[in-house]
């Protein structure tokens, strides 16, 4: 006599459900831990990117500075020439126009050099201030001229500490930055930046 | 008898769920890795540009005929050098452009005239110069004065310092 099976027996269903529940439970735990690790890694990456951006800006300003004012703990103040982006000619160049010679490309035209050259005119020098506040590290630009933008911008929201120390009179500066990678996890970074401009 | 293959559907749905979750995690990881790599490449390109500036600075200090005089009206001189690693593989290039339009060499020499050269270095990472992995621009102004000139009433530079950087900027 042929037996017709219409489903699973109770034991089969119980074993299957138990195994499924076990696998799903393990999987959920794995996914949860992996998600936590990924989120932690993402937070660290974000903090590192913020730190790198902050250091790049700090380094750019320090290298271009003509004068680094005495550092005061969590504040850095310096003066630098404001450059126009993507312009090879510095703003303080008083170029004398060449005689019109149309067939020759502009870049090959002879130019009479200026009779005077002031590399650091007061009107082109901006004062840059880095200040640590509870919301993060702020960069402020104070310009004497209305043609350059003055203002403040939040540079690194994850930055929780800034310690500036002048190492040498030639312009070597020690920077100690602390950044909050995750909740309550703060990492510190020490670096040195040097002024590249030979300012008397 | 009509059999319903609900287990097959369940397994397929579960597999799809796992696949989507796995792809999501992998995608997130991929973005993190590519971000880290791009930051590393930018640092390498910056080092190449710095090497270019340093190369130009040393040549200006050591070579009296650098940049080569060339034509009387030529104000730009540019060169590109490739940088290799220890194994001989090309790491990247730096292109240096020297702009002598503000350099003045009056005859006889006049100390009241500036002698400024604008130097721009472009660091390009990667063996293919047409499609670099990262590019960084650095600029500096170099005063070739021999130190006897007094800039706008400031103290003269010591004669032992033949060259000085009057401005430096990164784009």
Q: What is the pLDDT of residues A92-121, one digit of tens each?
A: 444 444 444 444 444 444 456 666 667 787
| Residue B77 confidence (pLDDT) above 80 | yes
pLDDT at A102: 45
Across the interface, do A90 and B167 touch by the CB < 8 Å criterion? yes
Find the helix packing angle between A10-64 and B6-62, rounded to 10°. Answer: 20
pLDDT at B121: 95
The span from the CA of A42 to the CA of B24, in Å, is 14
The span from the CA of A120 to the CA of B100, in Å, is 19
| Residue B106 confidence (pLDDT) above 80 | no
Across the interface, do A88 and B101 touch by the CB < 8 Å criterion? no
pLDDT at B97: 93
Structure tokens at A102: 């149309």
Across the interface, do B36 and A45 touch by the CB < 8 Å criterion? yes
The span from the CA of A17 to the CA of A160, in Å, is 51
Which of the residue ranges A36-40, A142-146, B36-40 would you say has the lowest mean pLDDT?
A142-146
Q: Which residues of chain B neighbour A48 with C-beta distances below 8 Å?
A: 36, 39
Alpha-carbon gap: B88 to the closest alpha carbon of chain A (Å): 30
Q: What is the pLDDT of residues A143-156, one digit of tens each?
A: 887 767 788 888 88
Alpha-carbon gap: B75 to the closest alpha carbon of chain A (Å): 6
pLDDT at B136: 93
Most B CBs within 10 Å, among A83, A85, A88, A117, to test the B interface: A117
Q: Under DSSP, is residue B43 helix (H, G, I), strand (E, B) or coil?
A: helix
Please name the residues in contact with A141: beta carbons below 8 A apart, sequence gap of 6 or more.
Answer: A126, A127, A128, A129, A148, A149, A150, A151, A152
**Element holding A162 (H helix, E strand):** strand A159-166
Q: In terms of DSSP H, where are the helices of chain B?
A: 6-62
Average pLDDT over residues A24-52: 87
Q: What is the pLDDT of residues A119-133, one digit of tens each?
A: 787 777 889 999 998
Q: Tell me what percent of the residues of chain A surpass a pLDDT of 90.
A: 14
Alpha-carbon gap: A118 to the closest alpha carbon of chain B (Å): 7
B80 — pLDDT class (breaks 50, 70, 90): very high
pLDDT at A94: 45
Q: What is this structure's pTM?
A: 0.74
| Residue B53 confidence (pLDDT) above 90 | yes
Q: What is the pLDDT of residues A70-79, one digit of tens each?
A: 866 788 999 8
Is the peptide bond between B108 and the residue preceding it cis, with omega within 30 degrees of 0? yes
B14 — pLDDT class (breaks 50, 70, 90): confident
Q: To the nearest whole number, what is the mean pLDDT of chain A?
A: 79
Average pLDDT over residues B103-131: 77
Across the interface, do A110 and B102 touch by the CB < 8 Å criterion? no
Contact A158, A135 (CB under 8 A): no
pLDDT at B126: 93
Q: What is the pLDDT of residues B142-162, one digit of tens each?
A: 887 644 444 444 444 444 456
Residue ranges of chain A whose CB lies within 8 Å of a chain B CB: 4, 6, 27, 31, 34-35, 38, 41-42, 45, 48-49, 52, 60, 63-64, 81, 83, 85-86, 88-90, 93, 95, 104, 107-111, 113-120, 196-198, 200
């Amino acid at each position: 006599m042929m037996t017709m099976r219409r489903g699973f027996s109770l034991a089969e269903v119980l074993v299957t459900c138990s195994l499924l529940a076990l696998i799903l439970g393990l999987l959920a735990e794995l996914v949860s831990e992996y998600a936590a690790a990924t989120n932690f890694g993402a937070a660290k990456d974000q903090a590192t990117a913020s730190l790198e951006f902050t250091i790049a800006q700090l380094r750019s300003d320090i290298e271009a500075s003509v004068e680094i004012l005495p550092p005061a703990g969590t504040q850095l103040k310096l003066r630098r020439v404001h450059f126009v982006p993507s312009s090879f000619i510095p703003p303080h160049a008083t170029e004398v126009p060449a005689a019109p010679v149309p067939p020759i490309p502009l870049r090959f035209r002879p130019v009479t050099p200026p009779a005077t050259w002031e590399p650091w005119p007061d009107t082109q020098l901006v004062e840059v201030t880095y200040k640590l506040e509870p919301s993060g590290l702020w960069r402020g630009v104070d310009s004497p001229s209305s043609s350059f933008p003055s203002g403040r911008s939040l540079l690194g929201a994850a930055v929780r500490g800034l310690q500036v120390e002048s190492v040498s009179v030639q312009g070597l500066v020690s920077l100690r930055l602390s950044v909050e990678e995750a909740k309550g996890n703060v990492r510190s970074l020490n670096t040195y930046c040097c002024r590249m401009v030979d300012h008397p | 008898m009509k059999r319903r293959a609900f287990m097959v559907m369940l397994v397929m749905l579960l597999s799809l769920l796992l696949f989507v979750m796995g792809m999501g995690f992998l995608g997130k990881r991929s973005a993190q890795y590519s971000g880290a790599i791009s930051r590393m490449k930018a640092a390498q390109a910056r080092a190449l540009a710095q090497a270019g500036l340093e190369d130009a600075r040393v040549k200006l200090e050591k070579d009296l005929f650098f940049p080569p005089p060339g034509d009387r009206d030529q104000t730009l001189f540019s060169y590109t050098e490739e940088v290799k690693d220890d194994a001989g593989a090309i790491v990247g290039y730096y292109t240096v452009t020297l702009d002598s339009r503000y350099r003045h060499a009056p005859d006889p020499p006049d100390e009241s005239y500036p002698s400024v050269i604008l130097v721009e270095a472009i660091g390009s990472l990667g063996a293919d110069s047409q499609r670099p992995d990262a590019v960084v621009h650095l600029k500096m102004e170099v005063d070739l004065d021999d130190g006897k000139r007094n800039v706008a009433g400031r103290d003269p530079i010591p004669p032992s310092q033949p060259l000085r950087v009057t401005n430096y900027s990164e784009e």
